[in-house]
Amino acid sequence: MPLPFGHSLMGYTIAESSRFKLSPNVWMNIFIFALLANLPDIDYLPGYLEGFPNRYHHHEIHSLGFAALMGLVGGLVYLRMRGKFWACFLPIFFAVSSHLLLDLLTEDFSEPHGMMLLWPLNSEFYEVPWKIFASVNKSNHSSDFFISLFTLHNLRVVLIELVIMLPLALTFTQRKRAAAQPQPQRIDVKQAERLTVRQSVEMEPEQGTELTVAQITEMPQVDYQRLDLNQPSYRNGKK
């Protein structure tokens, strides 16, 4: 299995790529998705309490059925609160399922190989031949389980996980930031010309506009009775 570093980076990637937020706070949202991506490893706990941490590892909790169950719980809660189901079900399902994907791509040298991927439909263990991550060395005894994780081999495993998962997480982060930036609007040249002509026409004064009463009263009054139309200056319409 990958260590929590790889699973947490996958949870971070899903949080950055998902439109749905499990919390309005950015860092709390990332923390919840990272927690969901590590959730299947809770199956270490019952074995650890019995003295053998690996006893139930990769069993029922490492399955698509468990991922669907977690999504169902979250979806029903969100349905009751906001009236939506799939918007919450899908991100939770993918976050938990991402753990299964990374574990399938990890070397597994302990019996039984693989995991109960299709539980509760069946209890068979499934694995894939393609491996990307190295196996983690760990003890099968609770007394030295945590101490056994601090080795040079596991440190190399952590570095491999960072080399593979960190660029993926950064890629989705950059894509999200680029999508959030306002995009320049593309203007059709012909449409812009038509708009310019229309604006210029609207700005021109309309011909034949009726004069207002105030404008008429301000016009100079002419006494037509005192005009001598026989004068040369008034002939042919000239003054």
Report, in angstroms and rounded to the nearest whole number, the Rg of the chain calculated over CA atoms.
38
Domain-located, residue 223: no
Domain-located, residue 92: yes
Domain-located, residue 51: yes
The tens place of each residue's pLDDT in the chain, 239 residues long, gives 678 999 999 999 999 888 888 888 999 999 999 999 999 999 999 999 999 999 999 999 999 999 999 999 999 999 999 888 999 999 999 999 999 999 999 998 888 889 999 999 999 999 999 999 999 999 999 999 999 999 999 999 999 999 999 999 999 888 877 777 776 666 556 666 666 656 655 555 555 455 555 555 555 665 656 656 566 655 555 55
Domain-located, residue 225: no
Domain-located, residue 218: no
> Structural domain tally of the chain?
1
Domain extent at residue 110:
4-180
Report the phi/psi class of residue 237: left, alpha or beta, with left for phi > 0 and alpha for psi in -120 to 50.
left
Domain-located, residue 185: no
Instruction: Phi first, then psi: give them for residue 81, nearest 5 degrees.
Output: -85, -45
Domain-located, residue 8: yes
Give the residue among 77, 73, 69 at the shortest CA–CA distance from 40: 69
Domain-located, residue 232: no
How many residues are recorded in the chain?
A: 239
Q: End-to-end distance of the chain based on CA atoms, in angstroms?
A: 107
Within 10 A of 39 (CB to CB), how many other CB atoms are there? 19
